[in-house]
Structure 1
Amino acid sequence: MNVVVVESPAKAKTINKYLGRGYEVLASFGHVRDLPPKDGSVDPDADFRMIWEVDGKAQKRIADIARALKGADKLILATDPDREGEAISWHLIEALREKRALSPDQPIERVVFNAITKQAVTEAMKHPRVVDQALVDAYLARRALDYLVGFTLSPVLWRKLPGARSAGRVQSVALRLVCDRELEIEKFVSQEYWSLVATLLTPRQEAFQARLVGADGKKITRLDIGTGAEAEAFKQALEAARYSVASVEAKPTRRNPQPPFTTSTLQQEASRKLGFAPAHTMRVAQRLYEGVDIDGETVGLITYMRTDGVQMAPEAIASVRSVVKEDYGDRYLPASPRQYQTKAKNAQEAHEAIRPTDMTRRPRDIKRGLEPDQAKLYELIYMRAVASQMESAELERTTVDITAQAGGRTLDLRATGSVITFDGFLAVYQEGRDEDPDDDESRRLPAMSQGEPLKKQALDVTQHFTEPPPRYSEASLVKRMEELGIGRPSTYASILQVLKDRNYVRIDKRRLVPEDRGRIVVAFLESFFSRYVEYDFTADLEEQLDRVSNNEIEWHQLLRRFWTDFTGAVDGIKDLKISEVIDALDAMLAPHIFPAREDGSDPRVCTTCGTGRLSLKLGRFGAFIGCSNYPECRYTRPFSVGNGEGGEAENKVLGQDPDTGFDVTLRSGRFGPYIQLGEANGGDKPKRAGLPKGTDPGSVDLEMALRLLSLPREVGKHPEDGEPILAGIGRFGSYVQHGKTYANLEPGDDVLAIGLNRAVTLIAEKREKGGKGRRFGGDPGKTLGDHPDQGGPIVVKAGRYGPYVSHNGINATLPKDKTPETITLAEAVALIAERAEKTGGAPKRKAPAKKAAAPKPKAKDTKAKDEGEAKPAKKAAPKKAPAKKTPAKGTTKKPAAKARKTPEPADSE
């Protein structure tokens, strides 16, 4: 019997069917060891000794593998074919040896395959090798670097920047890209320009458009006509001009297809064409790779999806060319196969591009067996692979220069257009692109000849203003990081997720917008750790790490060189006071937060008291602008520029309260827009009211503001006991209250208009669900479907500690990378099965009160591949610990009570 170990149960299930008797395939569920999230896990003073920890779940997996190895002929490690897969295999060997589950003479083989198909797996079994120590060393170097940066830099952030969460080696540089782009947008000064476009007619009455490009022998570029007066002068000349064709130039051009997908190009295209976030793209691709049930057979539909290679295996190219010939004909098939080479630095060329494993599985034939998102992504991958081996598209680009004679002036116009004479690969696939208003590819021009007279039909004179560069989308940020050589393709999705989880950025209209907290962190790093957020430095470090994987440099040497400089930079600011840090950030960010005023007055003078000086402040919830006369003057405003035009966010007076005569103002605070009645008077705070969720601040008038200030209001008396039911807006949104029962209002309910019957219904529903708090009241949830084995509905709900799935009293919390909108029935079944196994199949019940005891050691959850950062440790109960022996180098440490406070720094694959 041979024992085969892979990462995931889905992969194990698929491979087990291929190998059959004589093999037992087990899953490690990702990494079985990780660095404990506390100081000392990597010791620079002991030549970067790393102490590894096996968590509780992994202990069980290792025990299962150890039992299977008793009497087995050999251990075959079939983890993924990349650096991370190599590291998982190495960790398994080390953990099993510590457990003494491997005999000295027991053979250990490492096999890799790029696709989970029967042919690929059985062929790989014939060509085993040993674990590649160079790839393992590269993993160790990355893991140690990310740990040391995060666990050294993050505590500095906590002490110097209240509200900061963490910093990471690659995470911080990605955040800087987003913040730098935002700064470009804020500094951008719009420029006026005008365009003149004439609609002309040929003698055959065929219309086309031509743009003004020159006058009196001088070229006119896009921004040259800067005022309406200049545009009017050109318009008058063109109105009276005589038009004729000066020249016609037609050039045949070819457009070549793009190569098959890599990790980053797949993420970019899935974002542009399907609207998928990179993390979602990778989850769906992972399932297509590991195996999907098609007609009763579990098959891997695509090759490995973490790759920067663009080439395909010869047999795959032959299969693609066969599909092209069969489906589109010989005209669309090049005479020889196309070969591609990656442009990415340090690409792992041993990996194929992402392609279908079997080209005979056309998307339309297997669509019914796939989930909707799986079908969409598979079709995208399939069509891109087919197009990559098709003939080039042939186009004819035509440029017509036109002369307009007006009195003594000569004006030049130009019309351009392209005609697709042969669509080639465009018949199958066209790469998604950002919209370009000047794109003339689809514009076709009528036939014209030199000297031919033309007639003016219309003349459009249009005013324009230049626009700032767009914010990054997740796809465009991935592309930019790849261009700069920052990070690795397999880490991009997890890095973006970390930035969102830390509330450093948010998604608005599919664009990344930096939050105040993120901007402050970047400003801090640029002020005190500038070298470590430089693009070139980070890219060079990536190159050095890849040299380790190529056996060109020794990984300890790389760490020593980095650590010496890094610790010097950290030591240089340890003694800085928070006030000194704030002053430095205030000076650095002054052009952003205190832009010059049009009237020339000092932008730092407080607009409320008129004497105080405004400056940057740091509070528990992040940065804001406050007055130096606090607490006498309580003026504050958000750190971000309020109106998006470089001006300061001013209070909007809605009117006066008829009862008190005080001004009712709409203001913007650190927690969003709110209504305020009057001003602070001594130590008394003015009355304030938040806006209901989803309310447009621009729609708030005096009447609505006064009604909000009157909350909470009495809706009516409860019919059962005559006690009042109140409606108001609290910390967690709009609610109705009866006694001690709070019920959140649902979408469509208006806190200002909700009636008694609806309020009674919400209260009754809340009591039926047993909810006591108004935030985490019972949620009826969304039914995903019936359990395939046990029957009964599986429901996803919102709980006190986050979303979870429930079936027959067994509840399982959703992983960090899942949401109620993205969780599938199959994934929910797996989570419930895992929870049932852990609890012995019993529903989760509330434990009886017990005497407080010291907590047992708790190991960290096994990390999913490429997930990103370590989870924060929980505070250990005070307890005198017995003396412990120092673990030997390279040994595994048993789970221990975790550190008081843990950064979450890792950017590793």
Structure 2
Amino acid sequence: MDLVIVESPAKAKTIERYLGDGYKVLASYGHIRDLDPGEGSVDPKNDFAQKWTIDGQARSRVQELSKAAKEADRIILATDPDREGEAISWHLANVLRDQRGLAKLPMSRVVFHEVTKSAVLEAMANPRDINDELVHAYLARRLLDYLVGYTLSPVLWRKLPGARSAGRVQSVALRLICQREVEIESFVPLHYWSVEADLEFDGKRGLTAKLEHADGRKLGREDITSEETAQAYVARISSQGMRVEAVKTTPRQNKPAAPFTTSTLQQEAARKLRFSAKRTMQTAQRLYEAGHITYMRTDGTSLSKDAVADIRGMIEKEFDAKHLPNSPRMFGAKNPNAQEAHEAIRPTTINRKPGSIKLEGDQERLYSLIWKRTMACQMANAEYLDTRIDLRTLDGTLGLGATGRVMTFGGFMDLYHEGLDDQEEEQDNRLPKINEGEEAKVHEARDIAHTTKPPARFTEATLVKELERLGIGRPSTYASIISVLEDRGYVRLDQRRFFAEDTGRVLSVFLDAFFHTYVAYDFTAELERKLDRITNGELDWLEVMREFWTGFEKAVDATSELRVRDVIDVLDRELDQHLFPVTEENPEPRKCPACGTGMLGLRIAKNGGFVGCSNYPECNHTKNLGKSSDGEASDLPRELGPDELGRMISLKTGRFGPYLERVADEGEKPHRVSVPKDLSLENLSLDMALKLITMPRQVGIHEDQPIMANLGRYGPYLSHGNKNAKLAGTLEALEIGMNLAVEKLANAKEKMPATELGNHTNGKMITLKSGRFGPYVQMDKVMANIPKATDPKEVTLAMAIELIDKKMAKGGAKTTKTRAGAKKSAKK
């Protein structure tokens, strides 16, 4: 009997079924040992010797594995096919060989990238030894993380009380988020104008063109910097006709994206499914272990020849011949590291369409995303016609332009299209047929005011994308990096955007000031490249460790003479704009509001940083640093600004919570809208308020019916005919575009229309309806659910009367509760 050891019990059951008699498959449940949590588990003076420990839970697993191994003829280590999986096999081999009677037992390593019978049997037929290079790369990474954490943390506790800890890669990711906050705080908005005109041809055809040239020069997007200049252009355009100078139509194509890597899967799942990186990886792990997808930790975009052939066959079956290119697509490698050899993430069997296998919830949604992306990558390009029309005023001084795009063939986009970050989705914009030399009348010209926006805060998708671009960490570590930052309270995720907390800002400034080299992007990326070179056998791992430790130890020693006062001065200076922003309402933010004479500054206590007055102890005014107070309404009411008709919109709070109010026209009541709970009051802008106050919003027209985004009693949703689709949050309802809306509605169940079944014996009408919790029958205020085993289409009037009568017997009619307490108090 051979003992096969894998990582998870779910995978163990599947593989044991594939292998049959003669094999026993057990799970290690991940790592069985780790560095001892105490100090001194890595000794830099002794070639970085390690002290490993097996915790309580792992000890019982080791005993179970050892017992089974003593009855086996050989041990086969079948953990995951990456650096971490190789490390688990290495630990298992070392621990089991130390057990009595197992030192000489044959032991081999096998790897497979998909949990299918053919892949497992092929791996079993090709065993190998444990890969020393992969193990050395793991050791270097794990030991570096340990040394940075255990060496830097005591420095933080002494010099920066309140700071919890700092990690090698997490600190660099934190710096990214904090630097974005600095960019936003220092951003100075620029006001500019654009000019556009509605033009008519023969009174039948029309288009809108934008001013692009004036008096012999090309106008940049932000070149018109005053309203007076913009209005002067409007007057000049309005006073004369226009002539078409050129019409150019260009065919263009869009290629499909490559199949998923770990990084792009995390990004797309964040955009389309609103999954965190951690949630994506946990779901993908379950899909892999169940044999539905290939291994989910990979940097590669290649597909096997057999997989490509199967995909092309499926495209031919599901679509017309034009959707299948003449030859397969090949996707090149981007990152030259050891995990590149893995295939991209794909379904193990492309014939298993979403919905054809038993999956629920997150697994169903993520599998559908992977299946569509895999199919799309081998489909034909999407085809467009781009049209450009150049016009000029009759006096030749002003030039206007109009552009249009029309999709002529959907190609891969008939199945799937990649999500976008911080930009609008492209929409078809069809222009009328216009000929060169035609003249047009100006129906209306207008100027439009704009304000430049600060850089957007990172979403999970854009943070992962930036980490990958800079070469910081590896895709398999992104989920844990983000989780650690959130768990330690250094950042928070609000409206799917990362905000740096005060504690995170303080820590990041400290590290940047006193350990700049080790949070520098280039240094961290170069270290990652060295770790990859260790994996490839190009560098000695101990040499890399020695080089790093020599410099890092000196940097730590240099802080020994650093006084806390010096730290405070640096932090106070670097965080000035964040802690003490100058505004029109508060031109002297450092002036103490309590005593009026003292100056506010950053102070450090054993529990962390706070803002205090220079007149202490005479003045005890303080303000704690920490998590922001988003959601508090202490600064309300607050004016947000006027709408396009000059009506002021304010953010207020009332009996039922915060709400928006728009000043009413004479003789009308103010328009009020509650602020959804998932929106941050502190970051509620005028633009967002305008969108909220005008809800519901028409997203577009699909199949001759409008798609509406709305905010309902149970949250935001889309509606289209008899279909409703739930949305992830208010922000999605305000911003969702047509492509994603159509996709969401396609996956939604059609809502059953209300049907009158007939009158009850008491003469009242009974109606069959569909609600949030399923189908039900209703008579006045009495509602009774249809049993789950009953098809709503089979419900008769007699059945409905019986359900209503049973409900009434139980006292099922809705009643309005009387506020007795309020009445009593009113009588007093």
| TM-score calculated relative to the size of structure 1 | 0.68
Which residue of the other structure, out of 392, 412, 430, is the alignment partner of 2:399?
412
Q: Distance in 1 between matches of 2:498 and 2:7?
A: 33
Q: Distance in 2 between matches of 1:496 and 1:641?
A: 17
With over 3 angstroms needed to count, the CA separation of the structure-2 counterparts of 1:609 and 1:262, relative to structure 1, is same
Which residue of the other structure, out of 372, 381, 385, is the alignment partner of 1:392?
381
Q: Is the 8 A contact 1:344 1:482 kept in 2?
A: no
Which residue of the other structure, out of 466, 479, 483, is the alignment partner of 1:480?
466
Q: Distance in 1 between matches of 2:51 and 2:409?
A: 62
Q: Name the residue aligned to 1:62.
A: 62
With over 3 angstroms needed to count, the CA separation of the structure-2 counterparts of 1:201 and 1:344, relative to structure 1, is farther
Q: Distance in 2 between matches of 1:88 and 1:697?
A: 47
Which residue of the other structure, out of 418, 443, 450, is the alignment partner of 1:457?
443
Which residue of the other structure, out of 428, 431, 451, is the alignment partner of 1:442?
428
Which residue of the other structure, out of 357, 363, 366, is the alignment partner of 2:354?
363
Q: Distance in 2 between matches of 1:694 and 1:273?
A: 18
Q: Is the 8 A contact 1:47 1:556 kept in 2?
A: yes
Structure 2 spans left out of the alignment, 5+ residues: 639-657, 659-676, 683-713, 715-828
Deviation of 1:410 after TM superposition, in Å, equals 1.7
Provide, for residues 654-683 of structure 1, a one-character-per-residue CA deviation record: whole Å limited to 9, x for no partner.
9xxxxxxxxxxxxxxxxxx9xxxxxxxxxx
Q: Distance in 2 between matches of 1:596 and 1:276?
A: 38
Q: Distance in 2 between matches of 1:94 and 1:695?
A: 53
Matches within 5 A, 1:256-405: 256-291=255-290, 300-346=291-337, 348-366=339-357, 369-405=358-394
Report the 3-state secondary structure (helix = DSSP H, G, I; strand = E; otherwise coil) of the residue aligned with 1:131.
Answer: coil
Report the 3-state secondary structure (helix = DSSP H, G, I; strand = E; otherwise coil) of the residue aligned with 2:457.
Answer: coil
Q: Is the 8 A contact 2:503 2:626 kept in 1?
A: no
After superposition, the CA RMSD in angstroms is 2.5
Report the 3-state secondary structure (helix = DSSP H, G, I; strand = E; otherwise coil) of the residue aligned with 1:365.
Answer: coil
With over 3 angstroms needed to count, the CA separation of the structure-2 counterparts of 1:396 and 1:261, relative to structure 1, is same
- How many residues in Structure 1 have an aligned counterpart in Structure 2? 644
The one-letter amino acid paired with 1:123 is E
- 1:424 paired to 2:416: no
The one-letter amino acid paired with 2:236 is A
Report the 3-state secondary structure (helix = DSSP H, G, I; strand = E; otherwise coil) of the residue aligned with 2:407.
Answer: strand
Deviation of 1:624 after TM superposition, in Å, equals 2.6
Which residue of the other structure, out of 486, 489, 499, is the alignment partner of 1:500?
486
Q: Name the residue aligned to 2:75.
A: 75
Q: Distance in 2 between matches of 1:86 and 1:122?
A: 19
Q: Name the residue aligned to 1:679.
A: none
Provide, for residues 168-222 of structure 1, a one-character-per-residue CA deviation record: whole Å limited to 9, x for no partner.
1100000000000011001001110112222223337233221111111111111
Provide, for residues 304-363 of structure 1, a one-character-per-residue CA deviation record: whole Å limited to 9, x for no partner.
011110001111111111101111122111111111112235362211100000011000
Q: Distance in 2 between matches of 1:558 and 1:7?
A: 30
Deviation of 1:242 after TM superposition, in Å, equals 0.6
Q: Is the 8 A contact 2:187 2:454 kept in 1?
A: yes
Q: Is the 8 A contact 1:593 1:640 kept in 2?
A: no
Q: Is the 8 A contact 2:152 2:166 kept in 1?
A: yes
Q: Distance in 2 between matches of 1:433 and 1:245?
A: 34
Q: Distance in 2 between matches of 1:559 and 1:535?
A: 19
Q: Is the 8 A contact 1:248 1:449 kept in 2?
A: yes
The one-letter amino acid paired with 2:366 is L
Q: Name the residue aligned to 1:433.
A: 420
- 1:468 paired to 2:454: yes
- 1:126 paired to 2:125: yes
The one-letter amino acid paired with 2:118 is Q
Q: Is the 8 A contact 1:215 1:409 kept in 2?
A: no
Q: Distance in 2 between matches of 1:389 and 1:188?
A: 43
Provide, for residues 846-876 of structure 1, a one-character-per-residue CA deviation record: whole Å limited to 9, x for no partner.
xxxxxxxxxxxxxxxxxxxxxxxxxxxxxxx
Q: Name the residue aligned to 1:782.
A: none
Deviation of 1:695 after TM superposition, in Å, equals 12
Q: Is the 8 A contact 2:421 2:462 kept in 1?
A: no
Deviation of 1:607 after TM superposition, in Å, equals 3.3
Matches within 5 A, 1:764-775: none
Q: Distance in 2 between matches of 1:440 and 1:265?
A: 21
Deviation of 1:637 after TM superposition, in Å, equals 3.7
Deviation of 1:600 after TM superposition, in Å, equals 11
Deviation of 1:578 after TM superposition, in Å, equals 1.8
Q: Distance in 1 between matches of 2:296 and 2:209?
A: 47
Q: Name the residue aligned to 1:296.
A: none
Matches within 5 A, 1:142-161: 142-161=141-160
Deviation of 1:264 after TM superposition, in Å, equals 0.7
Report the 3-state secondary structure (helix = DSSP H, G, I; strand = E; otherwise coil) of the residue aligned with 1:199.
Answer: strand
Structure 1 spans left out of the alignment, 5+ residues: 292-299, 655-672, 674-692, 699-747, 749-909
Q: Is the 8 A contact 1:593 1:639 kept in 2?
A: no
- 1:545 paired to 2:531: yes
Matches within 5 A, 1:834-853: none
Q: Distance in 1 between matches of 2:421 and 2:122?
A: 43
Q: Name the residue aligned to 1:586.
A: 572
Q: Name the residue aligned to 1:245.
A: 244
Report the 3-state secondary structure (helix = DSSP H, G, I; strand = E; otherwise coil) of the residue aligned with 1:551.
Answer: coil
Q: Is the 8 A contact 2:533 2:539 kept in 1?
A: yes
Matches within 5 A, 1:566-585: 566-585=552-571
- 1:534 paired to 2:512: no
Q: Distance in 2 between matches of 1:635 and 1:492?
A: 41
Q: Is the 8 A contact 2:195 2:448 kept in 1?
A: yes
Q: Is the 8 A contact 1:417 1:440 kept in 2?
A: no
Matches within 5 A, 1:814-893: none
Q: Is the 8 A contact 2:502 2:627 kept in 1?
A: no
Q: Is the 8 A contact 1:18 1:118 kept in 2?
A: yes
Q: Is the 8 A contact 2:495 2:678 kept in 1?
A: no
Deviation of 1:604 after TM superposition, in Å, equals 3.0
Matches within 5 A, 1:100-111: 100-104=100-104, 106-111=105-110
Q: Distance in 1 between matches of 2:293 and 2:616?
A: 62
Report the 3-state secondary structure (helix = DSSP H, G, I; strand = E; otherwise coil) of the residue aligned with 1:38.
Answer: coil
Instruction: Choose between structure 1 and 2 for higher RCO, CA contacts under 8 A separated by at least 6 residues.
Output: 1
Q: Distance in 2 between matches of 1:652 and 1:449?
A: 57
Q: Name the residue aligned to 1:236.
A: 235
Q: Is the 8 A contact 2:170 2:484 kept in 1?
A: yes
Q: Name the residue aligned to 2:615.
A: 629
Percent identity among equivalent residues?
52
Report the 3-state secondary structure (helix = DSSP H, G, I; strand = E; otherwise coil) of the residue aligned with 1:336.
Answer: coil
